Structure 1
């Protein structure tokens, strides 16, 4: 009976773990579907270039905005977070292009870092408080180049271009009252990635990254819900308590049938010692059985009922061997 009870306990532990993993895996699958929906929205947008603002040479500006918002939303969905990027409440010709976590963002995708900074300053001059309350996004490759220039790593840029970049950065900081890196931040895209002839490949690359991230997250969920030593010890502890309870109840019932009621004060010292010893043995047996059944169900992939029967049989064989040895010694 104790082994059967231990089997039930272990089965409950395994079932609870499997159920918890299933719930999290389903939630992650839904998160991935939402992320892909965000990318599908982006694909529909770039699939109709005639509806994109600007000439063929400037349409990449609005494309960059759509990529930024879609990719950020997809990443948030995948992480099961409320998406922070949105076009909601933003007109197509408003001072801001989108919002991220409630902050207004103006996107400037201009060819060349120096030219991009020039457009940032022009926007700041037109909208006096924007640089104080909002932020600007520029291509991430241009942003990285500007930071290198500020460190003194000018690469192949001419001295004139370097000075122009340094001066514009100083002006931006003076007007905004903030460090350049707080006012002007990198986009998720480079300048080349959002061009009409390139953006479909860019979207595909982002989708592939999302798929890989999703697989990593699902693997993490699976690993977190694998059988473990800690859970095995917990199952053994639970089985020990059940074994103790079964032994206690069985022994007390046996005493009761002998005419001794523990609640009526009929137990002698020997009776209490007998009950206590039986309970301790039951706890030890339950712990051993629980640990063994946990190992069999999770390592040997044996169903809990069969594992319980296997443990009981093993105990029976051990008892038989012990009894036979004792008879052999006596003879």
Structure 2
């Protein structure tokens, strides 16, 4: 049985804890959060497991655990992961792993040295529609054009947890990961941005060139619908020599437009299968737990996180310098 602790009892931590409790091969050993009330509330709903204010306190108390799921703010990820890896613990971290690539590269070496499994929760890869698109692209030849767009209400002020380029480092990481999951590494970027009644960039548009020779773009705006709204928040549009493929709202459907035909096809997940954002979180965590228990590579590992951070760094550099930047 894999003993697991949750570090961070917020929205993501709640889903991670649920995934652990659902997994036949895992046991929830403790909840860690500086906010004791939040930690105790989550503990109560997960069987009254022990609660601690820090991972260090958990270890000092002698709680046996093999793995930690990090659901804290991005600023804390690298430091927490490093400490746990040095203790020989497996780690799954919420995205982004970090806002700079160099510390992630150091974590890769540390994880190899300590022979632990370190993964990153890019859960949007686990959308049924995205997975169906990936399978079709793998059998459909070469992609020549790939677009991703996102509309989501976001912060407007610089705080301890946000910064001027927050939209690129923290919000676009999902778009970048899914684009590279579908179409491979990104070679170069040219970013444009604007601030609409905001201290941070509220709109970005990034031209992309992929290693396979294809091109594309990524756009994101923080001037969008609230979480409670019904606005579609995301779209992927990919073209090959045979067809155009469109995924709406991450989960809703995959539409195929075959080039020789005047009709389209629509693929939808089964009504008997969960298909909301939370379900992708649960599936992503479960897949990582499977990889640890089965002594296999993480579904999304630190190399993916490092490449993601490198592209985000290039986007920021391009935005600041006003030129194309090679990744």
Q: Which has the larger radius of gyration?
A: 1
Classify the TM-score, shorter chain. Answer: under 0.3
| Structure richer in strand, relative to its length | 2
Higher relative contact order (CA 8 A, sep 6+): 1
Name the TM-score, length of structure 1 as normaliser: 0.21
Structure with more of its chain in helix, by fraction = 1
TM-score norm. by structure 2 comes to 0.22
